[in-house]
Amino acid sequence: MHAVACVLLVDRAGRLLLQLRDAHAAYHPNVWGLPGGHWEPGETIEETALRELREESGLRPDGPLRLFAEQEIPEVDRVKHYFFGATAARQEDVVLGEGRAMVFTAPADVLDGRPYTPGTVDVLARFLSSPEYAELAARSRAGRG
């Protein structure tokens, strides 16, 4: 299976960075997902996550990314590695490098019925109810991002 890295990036308001893929996306056009992409030879999967986040949004996390989940999706021959981290960046700091939109989204709006890439809804639901997210959101609100 092909390795893919995705980033669950949380801002100081506890919002999650989501990407709306454009009509030209090779996989899953016109649906929502997370910043991320395919592993390239010579990279660790965490390096892939950092590279893709930077290329697609212009952002970097405030500290190291940590692995949240790995998810095999055999129907699309992918294994997705989900990393999470915090950022002090604001919406105006986002530089759209890929896709139709890249927006920090309030947790209450993340699972609002919008279409997502395969497997993403399950991981988003788990992440938003996880101790990892609660810790990031609490630290972010306290300004320690």
The CATH number given to whatever domain includes residue 9 is: 3.90.79.10
Mean predicted confidence (pLDDT) in 54-76: 95
Helix H, strand E, coil C: the string for 99-117 is CCEEEEECHHHHCCCCCEC
At 12, the amino acid letter reads R
Distance spanning both ends of the chain, measured CA to CA: 34
pLDDT for residue 4: 96
DSSP state for residue 119 in the 8-state scheme: T
Give how many domains the chain has, as a whole number: 1
By residue range, what is the domain housing residue 50? 2-141
Q: Is the pLDDT of residue 3 over 70?
A: yes
Q: What is the pTM of this model?
A: 0.94
Give the separation between CA 17 and CA 4, rounded to whole angstroms: 17
pLDDT tens for 22-39 read 998 888 899 999 999 999
